[in-house]
């Protein structure tokens, strides 16, 4: 799979397409948030950290970072999902 950073998904004109695109972007953001968390992003360092408060709010930071990645092109998952969902909705 070739990643194309900066390539935003095709703009959706129809309200149903906008909903499909939003759902696809939300799924990609959730996937990326899980990957970022698994990679250790947001973990407090042992020597110096913000304590329990930082641990509690790190998930919000990870979620927002994942959303930002999606809004700036993501990894192409949202576009692939959107294309598949649109094709299936066109068939019905």
The answer, yes or no, to whether residue 40 has pLDDT greater than 80, is yes
The pTM (predicted TM-score) of the whole model is 0.74
In a domain, 88, yes or no: yes
The answer, yes or no, to whether residue 1 has pLDDT greater than 50, is no
| Count of domains forming the chain | 1
In a domain, 19, yes or no: no
More confident call, 41 vs 19:
19
Which residues form the domain of 87? Answer: 54-92
For residues 61 and 90, what is the distance between their CA atoms, to the nearest angstrom?
37
The answer, yes or no, to whether residue 84 has pLDDT greater than 50, is yes
In a domain, 34, yes or no: no
The answer, yes or no, to whether residue 7 has pLDDT greater than 60, is no
């Amino acid at each position: 799979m070739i990643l194309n950073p900066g390539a935003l998904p095709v703009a959706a004109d129809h309200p149903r397409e906008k909903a499909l695109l939003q759902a696809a972007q939300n799924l990609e953001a959730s996937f990326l948030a899980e990957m970022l968390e698994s990679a250790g992003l947001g973990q407090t360092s042992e020597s110096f950290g913000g304590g329990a408060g930082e641990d509690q709010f790190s998930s919000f930071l990870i979620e927002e970072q994942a959303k930002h990645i999606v809004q700036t092109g993501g990894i192409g998952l949202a576009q692939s999902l959107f294309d598949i969902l649109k094709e299936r909705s066109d068939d019905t």
